[in-house]
Amino acid sequence: MGNIKLGVSLYSFTDEYVKGKLSLEDCIRTAAEYGADGFELVGTQMLSSYPYVTDRVLSEFKTMTNAYGIDFVSYGANTDRGVRSDRDLTEEEMLQSAIIDVKTAGKLGCKVMRAQYLLSPSALAKLAPYAESYGVKVGIEIHNPETPTSPIMQSYLEVIEQSGSKFIGFTPDFGCFATRPNKPHWDSALQNGAPLELLEMAAQLRYEGVPREEGRQRLLDAGANGAVMGAFQGMYGFVTFYKEPDLEGLKKIMPYVVHFHGKFHYLDEKLEEASIPYKDILPIIAESDFDGYIMAEYEDHISGRALEMTERFLRMEQKLLSK
């Protein structure tokens, strides 16, 4: 049986942090008060000395984690090939950036790091000895519209298996198992004048796997307005969904999972996520040998509901896992 620990990605509190409603310390304290055992921080967002760690910043983190009894578990790294204005970064340059991220994560005391799939499979393999040297397990994020069995993720799997390293693997984002349209996007489209029948048509096109350009044209021919087309774009992108979640794919990669991103957009009073079938996902993890964290990651930032939804999400996990 697995040993699942519950955490919070401070990214969940993006809107509150950016608007000055919550300080970094407030975010950490809130995660602890909600019952999280640990937290994840996205370096580009909340690490004031990014991409490095100064002694002062390190001391501040230690003071806060000690004060609130919560562990700094995971460092969210970004693979940004567009940092130069004249050209994209080369694969070697992105590898060097990832090495800096691993060093930063290690100095912060993090045992895991999220990497993004702009870091190529071959670059991930080259990163493995650095990850091992600094004691940081690096997980490539599996994020919509990818799934565990999509071609690019199979390429990573092949590299991970061939490397034999226990310090590179996956960080699945549960959004890739969504089976229904994103509720906040759906509700927003309706409020902005999208006819319900055309939204339902868009969702059906997605369920049927109709190619995006063909689906787009069919909607336009049916008279879809901008609100419908905006929602449709998301259905084929970062908030896509499928008739059946790729749970068999999840089972196959479980030995290589570093940690999870517990994506959520809306939970009702019954503690049910509107789009993602957590009741089907969490038992697979619990019945495996997984020993690590699920980091709650809220992503409907402008709603003003981050605190309420994060608290609900943790209660949902506790209920489903009987923790």
Residues 6+ apart with CB under 8 A from 188: 227, 231
The pTM of this model reads 0.96
pLDDT digits (tens, 9 = 90+) for 194-238: 999 999 999 999 999 999 999 999 999 999 999 999 999 999 999
| 151-163 helix and 121-134 helix, angle to the nearest 10 degrees | 40
Question: What fold is seen in the domain 3-179+243-321?
Answer: TIM Barrel (3.20.20)
Q: Domain residues of the chain, as ranges?
A: 3-179+243-321, 183-235
Q: What is d(CA 213, CA 210) in angstroms, rounded to the nearest whole number?
A: 8
Residue 113 to residue 12: CA distance in whole angstroms: 17
Residue 75 is predicted with a pLDDT of 98
40, 11 Cβ separation under 8 angstroms: yes
List, for residues 16-75, the tens digit of each pLDDT value: 999 999 999 999 999 999 999 999 999 999 999 999 999 999 999 999 999 999 999 999
CA atoms within 13 A on the CB side of 191: 6
What average pLDDT does the structure give for the chain?
97
* Secondary structure element (H or E) that encloses residue 139, with its range: strand 137-142
What is the average pLDDT across 116-135? 97
* Number of Cβ atoms within 10 Å of the Cβ of 48: 10
Helices (H), ranges, the chain: 14-18, 24-33, 43-46, 55-68, 91-108, 121-134, 151-163, 183-191, 196-207, 212-221, 226-235, 247-253, 278-286, 306-321
pLDDT at 2: 80
pLDDT digits (tens, 9 = 90+) for 135-153: 999 999 999 999 999 999 9
d(CA 270, CA 225): 34
DSSP character at residue 177: G
